[in-house]
């Protein structure tokens, strides 16, 4: 029981989740300790390299690209560009 009381005291003193215990009554603190709460978070999705996505399903192509590949690709004329 003593360990639990120490942990509650540390929670009240430090307020690591920013619950706002300071200035609250014991009943309000009890309610804050017993209720769940939400936090906001930023989620970032990891995607494979663009060249990997481009070359998926193309047989015998490397999954990395060199500067010369970019230079050569820029010179390619796509069918829709032909007049």
Q: What whole-number distance in Å separates Cα of residue 19 and Cα of residue 6?
A: 18
Q: What confidence score (pLDDT) does residue 68 get?
A: 83
- Say yes or no to pLDDT of 60 above 80: no
Provide the whole-model pTM: 0.48
| Residue 17 scores a pLDDT above 80 | yes
pLDDT for res 39: 87
Q: How many domains in the chain?
A: 2
Q: Is residue 82 part of a domain?
A: no
Does a structural domain hold residue 42?
no
C-alpha–C-alpha distance, residues 30 and 35, integer Å: 9
Please state, as a whole number, how many other Cβ atoms lie within 10 Å of the Cβ of residue 60. Answer: 5
Handedness of CA 24, 30, 33, 35 (dihedral sign): negative
Q: What is the pLDDT of residue 78?
A: 77
Domain-located, residue 14: yes
| Domain membership flag for residue 17 | yes
- Residue 23 lies inside a defined structural domain of this protein: yes
- Residue 43: inside a domain, yes or no? no
Specify the higher pLDDT residue, 5 or 79: 5
Domain span at residue 61 reads 50-76
Confirm whether 41 is domain-assigned.
Answer: no
6, 30: one domain: yes
| 72 within domain boundaries | yes
The mean pLDDT value of the chain amounts to 84
């Amino acid at each position: 029981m003593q360990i639990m009381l120490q942990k509650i005291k540390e929670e009240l003193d430090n307020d690591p989740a920013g619950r706002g215990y300071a200035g609250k009554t014991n009943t309000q603190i009890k309610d804050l300790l017993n209720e769940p709460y939400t936090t906001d978070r930023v989620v970032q999705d990891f995607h494979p390299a663009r060249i990997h996505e481009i070359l998926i399903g193309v047989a015998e192509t490397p999954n990395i690209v060199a500067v010369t590949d970019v230079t050569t690709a820029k010179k390619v004329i796509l069918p829709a560009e032909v007049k």
